[in-house]
Amino acid sequence: MLLTVLGIVAFAAGLLFSMLLAKRGFFTATIGYRLSDVATWPAQIHDVKAAIRFIRAHAARLNVDPDRIGIWGASAGGHLTAMAALNGDYP
């Protein structure tokens, strides 16, 4: 399972990458997050982590292994994926 976190600028490239992975058997999900003009930090990382929790909670229905979730992003999404990886179990 690969979770894609993308800013608006990188969305088209990320969508193409996700489609290529899906053709090779990977389940991919592209998520959105609240931008800073809508919600201040750390709302964005909370949105990313909520998406991960949602996928884990619905893993059986989505037919994915909840212990094998990868995450990547470009632009602001790259920053958010790094923060999600480094921030562990903190909300």
pLDDT in tens, 8-22: 556 666 777 878 888
Q: What pLDDT, on the 0 to 100 scale, is given for residue 50?
A: 92
Helix axes 43-57, 76-86, angle to 10 degrees: 70
CA dihedral 49, 65, 13, 39 (to 10 degrees): -10
Amino acid identity for residue 59 in this structure: A
Q: Distance (Å, rounded) from C-alpha 6 to C-alpha 13? A: 9
What pLDDT is recorded for position 9? Answer: 54
What is the reported pTM? Answer: 0.78
Determine what percent of the chain falls in helix, strand and coil, rounding each to the nearest 5: 45, 15, 35
**What confidence category does residue 61 fall into, taking pLDDT thresholds of 50, 70 and 90?**
very high
